[in-house]
């Protein structure tokens, strides 16, 4: 416990958190190009540093997801060893258990889970989609003829109900009803105590009608204004705590005019950064980032929510993404899907039963330097937790290192070459994300 940052920057007894302890410092920006997707050929990709009370984040960076203040099957110390700079947890799930008061009494999210570094929390807005319509992050990309405002995934029960003031959730744990609003979300996130948190928003599906998407971004804007006001009030009230940065979230599905309108709305408010959210069609993910960055002040860091396909990461970095989070590396690893420079493969195949080689030749992660494919295959088939741990460590290292290498390529002036070479190798066998 002594390794933790006991006195975060900008926290003084009896005083509100010092906002100057959080800021973004830009280093290298990609040059504009005739093919740039931003205004006048702008390419918003860059390197920089997000300074937070609990430490710095070198960007671009991958943010592993510790949903319930824990990486499934992997200790925080192991995440630090594999190069993770920061972790993201889910405000809704922490609200359900152990409760935000527990984290507040423990000294905040980082101290509670013995994490020596910056932390993020999302707002609960994702649950509007996952509990409401029953979908996960990835939606069908061909949504022709599927427009509906009462869309629900097959076999799912609607567990979230949106109104003007907020959202009523039916708990997936025990069915009890809970209420989230802008003010409630801010109160919960302040008590959880992450360095970076997000305003409460409504995440729609690509299947919602154009009219509903318009209504939704206006509702998200009204909620955003309430979040900013409540965030300021709580910052002044909660003395002796480090400043928590608040990011606004831009929605608008796959409509350029709605994304631009929402970006201008969020840019007009006193946020510390921006979250690029929502269900986004893969074919226009780079364009979507560029539309939003056209409106954003460059001193605000940009977080792309829920992205972990290699081509998507390159597209988003090139067009302004600074940080990225996704559950896919850990979730896929627990199911046997292993990410490598030459694509993704399933380690639980018969050919690996006698494969006494690393998950990936040349990988420097703990798993690859100590264990074999045969052992990981065995553990996963036997449902031994060691298999979850070893596969997750490798996959998280893959994405942390990918973003580290992208950052080096931007600083070194060879981003395009690195992008093209990486994607050629990764997709040479038609690998999935």
CATH number at residue 222: 3.20.20.105
270/379 same-domain check:
no
Instruction: Tell me, yes or no, whether 144 and 265 share the same domain.
Output: yes
Same domain, 139 and 259: yes
C-alpha–C-alpha distance, residues 48 and 64, integer Å: 19
Whole-angstrom Cα distance, residue 356 to residue 374? 6
pLDDT at 373 over 80: yes
What count of residues does the chain have?
433
Distance between terminal CA atoms of the chain? 38
Residues 234-248: what's their mean pLDDT?
97
pLDDT band at 433 (very low <50, low <70, confident <90, very high): low
Rounded CA separation 354/263 (Å): 53
pLDDT at 269: 98
- 123 annotated ligand-binding residue: yes
Residue 142 pLDDT? 40
**364 has binding-site annotation:** no
Active site residue ranges: 122, 325
In this structure, the answer to whether residues 380 and 261 fall within a common structural domain is no
Contact predicate 356/374, CB 8 Å = yes
Q: How far apart are CA 90 and CA 104, in angstroms?
A: 15
Q: β-strands 302-305, 323-326: how paired?
A: parallel
Q: At what angle do helices 373-381 and 385-412 cross, to 10 degrees?
A: 130
Q: Is the pLDDT confidence value at 130 over 70?
A: no
pLDDT given at position 175 = 86
Q: Nearest Cα to 49, choosing from 85, 76, 79, 17?
A: 85
Residues 202 and 331 in one domain: no
139 confidence band (pLDDT: 50, 70, 90): very low
Contact call for residues 103 and 94 (beta carbons, < 8 A): yes
> pTM of the entire structure?
0.93
Which pLDDT value is given to residue 137? 42
- The average pLDDT across 24-50 equals 97
pLDDT number for residue 4:
56
Percent of the chain residues past pLDDT 70, beyond the cut? 90
Predicted pLDDT at 134? 42
Q: Which tokens in the block code for residue 169?
A: 């959730």
Residues 216 and 73 in one domain: yes
The beta strand positions in 1-118, using DSSP E, are: 23-29, 46-52, 55-59, 61-64, 87-90
Show the domain range for 197: 59-281
CA torsion, points 143, 247, 257, 261, in degrees to nearest 10? Answer: 140
351 within a domain of the structure (yes/no): yes
Annotated ligand binding at 124? The verdict is yes
Q: Is residue 394 part of an annotated ligand binding site?
A: yes
289 marked ligand binding residue:
no
* 3-class secondary structure, 154: coil
Helix (H) or strand (E) holding 338, with range, is strand 337-340
Distance CA 415, CA 402 (A): 12
Q: Are residues 77 and 220 in the same domain?
A: yes
Q: In whole angstroms, what is the distance from residue 432 CA to residue 424 CA? A: 13
Domains identified in the chain, total number: 2
Q: Is 198 labelled a binding residue?
A: no
Last residue of a domain, one of 223, 251, 281: 281
Is 93 among the annotated ligand-binding positions? Answer: no
């Amino acid at each position: 416990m002594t390794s933790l940052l006991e006195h975060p920057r900008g926290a003084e007894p009896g005083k509100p958190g010092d906002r100057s302890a959080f800021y973004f410092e830009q280093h290298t920006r990609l040059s504009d190009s005739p093919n740039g997707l931003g205004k006048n050929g702008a390419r918003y990709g860059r390197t920089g540093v997000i300074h937070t009370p609990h430490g710095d984040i070198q960007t671009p960076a991958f943010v592993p997801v510790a949903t319930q203040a824990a990486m499934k099957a992997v200790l925080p110390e192991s995440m630090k060893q594999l190069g993770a700079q920061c972790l993201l947890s889910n405000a809704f799930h922490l609200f359900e258990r152990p409760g935000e008061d527990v984290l507040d009494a423990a000294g905040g999210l980082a101290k509670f889970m013995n994490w020596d570094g910056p932390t993020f929390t999302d707002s609960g807005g994702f649950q509007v989609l996952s509990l409401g319509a029953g979908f996960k992050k990835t939606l069908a990309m061909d949504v022709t003829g599927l427009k509906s405002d009462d869309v629900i995934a097959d076999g799912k029960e609607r567990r979230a109900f949106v109104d003007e003031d907020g959202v009523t959730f039916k708990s997936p744990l025990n069915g009890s009803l809970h209420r989230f609003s802008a003010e409630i979300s801010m109160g919960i996130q302040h008590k959880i105590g992450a360095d970076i948190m997000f305003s409460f928003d409504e995440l729609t599906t690509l299947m919602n009608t154009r009219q509903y998407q318009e209504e939704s971004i206006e509702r998200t804007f009204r909620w955003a204004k309430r979040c900013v006001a409540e965030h300021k009030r709580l910052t002044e009230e909660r003395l002796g705590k480090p400043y928590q940065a608040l990011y606004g979230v831009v929605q608008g599905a796959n409509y350029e005019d709605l994304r631009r309108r929402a970006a201008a709305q969020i840019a007009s408010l006193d946020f510390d950064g921006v979250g690029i959210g929502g269900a986004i069609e893969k074919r226009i993910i780079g364009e979507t980032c560029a539309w939003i960055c056209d409106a954003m002040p460059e001193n605000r860091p940009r977080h792309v929510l829920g992205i972990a396909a290699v081509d998507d990461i390159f597209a988003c970095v090139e067009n302004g993404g600074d940080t990225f989070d996704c559950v896919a590396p850990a979730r896929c690893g627990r199911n046997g899907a292993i990410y490598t420079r030459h694509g993704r493969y399933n380690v639980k195949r018969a050919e690996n039963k006698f494969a006494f080689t690393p998950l990936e030749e040349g990988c420097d992660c703990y798993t690859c330097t100590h264990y074999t494919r045969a052992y990981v295959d065995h553990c996963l088939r036997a449902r031994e937790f060691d298999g979850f741990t070893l596969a997750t460590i490798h996959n998280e290292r893959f994405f942390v290192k990918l973003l580290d290498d992208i950052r080096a390529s931007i600083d070194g002036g060879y981003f395009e070459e690195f992008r093209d070479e990486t994607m050629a190798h990764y997709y040479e066998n038609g690998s999935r994300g």
